[in-house]
């Protein structure tokens, strides 16, 4: 679809986008490893926050540092860095998530030259007052240190403005997600995926204007739905495989909602900017659906997914997870059980870095959808 074209371009080659952006703006690019890197602070520091997601090239160099039993996101990201393909990066931010990312941070710091290296050691338990206090404190320190590294000061005004931009982006993107849910035929899964992917690497102001006009255009173009196919919710760990959506939708069904950190979760929740802005940012992290590497109560993620499936009137849930992803691996059985208890059919697909050429995924995917 025409309106998504720009997103497809960027998503297909984020590196070229970043290089051109640098040339155009003379700005700096800060790479991040997960959705817990505070967008608002990066934006307030006037840098391009750039989420790294694995590699599309074969993994060779990273094998000298990481065992074969680490996930391809971790191995792929290191491969990109070691191969020198991140030459446009001026600094890296490692938010604390899973054990693998935490070790990747060490290995990266010891072996890779991608400018400055910052560890943002976030709490893992996001339910307590103590962790909110701690997160607030380290976000503030992070902003100060980031400013020092860049030779600028992140002012309250700049942070306030950045929060407002990020919130507007989130609102616009969530409008588009809501529309997809209401009128599934309005866009293809790959379109939405490209839009989300672009949102993690594009100049946020440019992105905001694109998603805002897109939301408005789509809403007027697709007031009602004629869609009677199967409605699928996609959930699970990190996923950067646009082909998946095509395979699913070739069956005539549509992805109507997702719970992926490289999907809607990236944009969920609004930062309510009153009082301490760092606390406001921390509050959002504490209240949105968490990544499986974080703790937010014993059933929070399961309940959220059941609710998502119900609200989006899903016929089934497809779980995608990267092989060797521990946090997801521990959550999956109970979440699946909760879906079963609520009569929501689901199926797990474990993936490495790309779809196997043998068509196995296609076959299982079709079988699942036919069964719904």
Partner 1 sequence: MGTKENARDCEKERTKIRCVKTMKDIMTTYYIDAKTAEENGKKVAWITSGGPVEPLIAMDVIPVYPENHGAMIGATKMADDLCAKAEEMGYSRDLCSYARSDIACATVNGGPIGGLPRPDMLVCCNNICGTVLKWYEVQARFFNVPLFILDTPITHTAYSKAQHRYVADQFNNYMAFLEEHCGKPFDFDRLEEVGRLSLKGQKLWQAVLDTTMNRPAPMSAFDAFFHLALIVTLRGTQTAVDYYQALLDEMNERVSLSISAVPKEEIRLMWDNLPVWYRTKWLSDTFAGHNACLVADTYTSAWCSSLRFLDENDFFNSMVEGYSRIYLNTGVDAMAEEVLSMVERYKADGLVMHSNRSCKPYSLGQYDIQRIVQERAGVPVLVMEADMCDSRNFSESQIQTRIDAFMELVRANL
- What is the gyration radius of the CA atoms in the chain, in angstroms? 20
> How far is the C-alpha of 204 from the C-alpha of 192, rounded, in Å?
17
Q: Is 357 in the site for partner 1 (CB under 8 A)?
A: no
Q: What share of the chain is helix, strand, coil (3-state, %, to 5)?
A: 55, 10, 35
Nearest to 239 by CA among 266, 260, 267: 260
| Residues 286-315, interacting with partner 1 (CB under 8 A) | 292-293, 295, 298-299
Per CB under 8 A, the list member of 28, 51, 61, 65 interacting with partner 1 is 65
> How far is the C-alpha of 141 from the C-alpha of 318, rounded, in Å?
40
What are the structure tokens assigned to 23, written together?
């040339």
Asked if 36 and 97 count as a contact pair (C-beta separation under 8 A), the reply is yes
CB-based contacts of 288: which residues, under 8 Å, 6+ apart? Answer: 265, 268, 269
Binding mask 336-355 for partner 1 (x = CB under 8 A): x-----------x-x-----
Smallest gap from Cβ 241 to partner 1, in A, equals 19
Smallest gap from Cβ 160 to partner 1, in A, equals 23
What are the structure tokens assigned to 328, written together?
């997801």
Q: Which is nearer to ligand SF4, 214 or 322 (CB)?
A: 322
Nearest to 177 by CA among 155, 195, 159: 195
Q: Which residues of the chain form contacts with ligand SF4 (CB under 6 A)?
A: 71, 73-74, 97-98, 100-101, 237-238, 293, 322, 325-328
Q: Of these partners, ligand SF4, partner 1, none, which one is at the site of residue 237 (CB under 5 to 8 Å by kind)?
A: ligand SF4
| Residues 313-332, interacting with partner 1 (CB under 8 A) | 323-324, 326-327, 329-332
Q: Is 138 in the site for partner 1 (CB under 8 A)?
A: yes
Q: Which is nearer to partner 1, 44 or 325 (CB)?
A: 325
What are the structure tokens assigned to 82, written together?
């070691």
Tell me which residues touch partner 1 (CB under 8 A): 64-67, 69-70, 96, 98-100, 102-107, 109-111, 119, 121-125, 128, 130-131, 133-134, 137-138, 141, 292-293, 295, 298-299, 323-324, 326-327, 329-334, 336, 348, 350
């Amino acid at each position: 679809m025409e309106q998504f074209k720009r997103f497809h371009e960027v998503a297909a080659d984020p590196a070229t986008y970043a290089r051109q952006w640098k040339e155009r703006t003379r700005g700096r690019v800060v790479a991040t490893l997960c959705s817990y890197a505070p967008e608002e602070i990066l934006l307030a520091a006037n840098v391009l926050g750039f989420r790294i997601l694995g590699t599309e090239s074969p993994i060779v160099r990273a094998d000298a540092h990481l065992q074969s039993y680490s996930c391809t996101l971790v191995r792929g990201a290191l491969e990109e860095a070691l191969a020198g393909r991140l030459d446009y990066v001026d600094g890296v931010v490692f938010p604390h998530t899973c054990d693998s990312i935490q070790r990747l941070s060490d290995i990266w710091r010891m072996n890779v030259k991608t400018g400055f290296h910052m560890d943002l050691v976030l709490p893992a338990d996001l339910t307590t007052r103590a962790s909110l206090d701690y997160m607030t404190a380290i976000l503030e320190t992070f902003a100060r240190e980031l400013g020092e590294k860049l030779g600028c000061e992140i002012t309250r005004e700049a942070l306030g403005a950045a929060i407002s931009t990020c919130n507007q982006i989130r609102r616009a993107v969530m409008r588009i997600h809501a529309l997809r849910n209401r009128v599934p035929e309005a866009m293809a899964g790959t379109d939405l995926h490209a839009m989300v992917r672009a949102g993690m690497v594009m100049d946020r102001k440019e992105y905001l204007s694109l998603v805002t006009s897109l939301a408005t255009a789509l809403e007027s173009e697709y007031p009602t739905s004629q869609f009677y196919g199967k409605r699928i919710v996609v959930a699970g760990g990190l996923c950067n495989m646009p082909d998946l959506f095509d395979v699913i939708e070739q069956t005539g069904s549509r992805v109507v909602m997702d719970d992926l950190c490289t999907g809607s979760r990236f944009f969920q929740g609004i930062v309510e900017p009153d009082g301490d802005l760092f606390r406001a940012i921390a509050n959002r992290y504490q209240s949105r659906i968490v990544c499986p590497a974080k703790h937010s109560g014993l059933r929070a993620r399961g309940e959220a997914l059941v609710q998502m499936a119900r609200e989006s009137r899903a016929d089934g849930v497809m779980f995608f997870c990267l092989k060797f992803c521990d946090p997801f691996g521990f959550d999956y059985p109970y979440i699946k059980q909760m879906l079963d208890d609520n009569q929501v059919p689901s199926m797990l697909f474990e993936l490495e870095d790309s779809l196997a050429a043998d068509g196995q995924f296609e076959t299982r995917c079709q079988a699942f959808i036919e069964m719904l």
